[in-house]
């Protein structure tokens, strides 16, 4: 996979994470999210992050997966989910912000430094 395609996949992954988190965190106060759905989302993110060699994101999702049971019948409200996913939210926000600030004059997203730093550790 060439560098341009890798950056497209990375940008797509972080965009998908942002969209899912936004959808969940904008739910009405009484709405809930099943633990199984959260587990599947985290598992998918972990696998994709691993494939794209995003070590920081992989580590965050591994830690989060340790805190949720795939077979749980639990449902999470917006506040519980925000607290549980805080590190993922923070990481995603930083990467997206850095990407937006790294746009070139033609409006293309350049390879954000956060992606490269993440691969180092």
Residue 120 confidence (pLDDT) = 45
Rounded mean pLDDT, 48-54: 95
Q: Which DSSP state fits 110?
A: P
Residue 103 confidence (pLDDT) = 62
How far is residue 6's CA from residue 10's CA, in Å, rounded to a whole number? 6
Tokens of 62: 């591994």
Residue 96 confidence (pLDDT) = 86
Residue 119 confidence (pLDDT) = 43
- pLDDT of 5 strictly over 50: yes
How far from 76 is each of 35, 44, 62, 104, CA to CA, in Å?
A: 7, 19, 19, 40
Q: Where are the alpha helices (DSSP H) in the chain?
A: 3-25, 35-51, 55-66, 78-84, 86-101, 113-120
| pTM of this structure | 0.80
Q: Are 82 and 89 in contact (CB under 8 A)?
A: yes
For residue range 84-112, what is the model confidence (pLDDT) as tens digits? 999 999 999 998 888 777 765 444 444 44
Tokens of 93: 């926000």
């Amino acid at each position: 996979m060439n560098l341009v395609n890798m950056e497209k996949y990375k940008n797509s992954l972080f965009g998908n994470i942002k969209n899912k988190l936004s959808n969940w965190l904008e739910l009405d106060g009484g709405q809930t999210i099943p633990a199984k759905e959260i587990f599947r989302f985290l598992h998918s993110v972990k696998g994709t992050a691993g494939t794209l060699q995003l070590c920081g994101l992989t580590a965050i999702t591994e830690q989060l997966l340790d805190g949720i049971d795939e077979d749980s019948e639990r449902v999470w409200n917006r506040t519980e989910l925000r607290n549980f996913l805080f590190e993922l939210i923070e990481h995603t926000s930083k990467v997206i912000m850095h990407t937006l600030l790294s746009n070139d004059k033609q409006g293309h997203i350049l390879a954000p430094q956060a992606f490269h730093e993440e691969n180092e550790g």
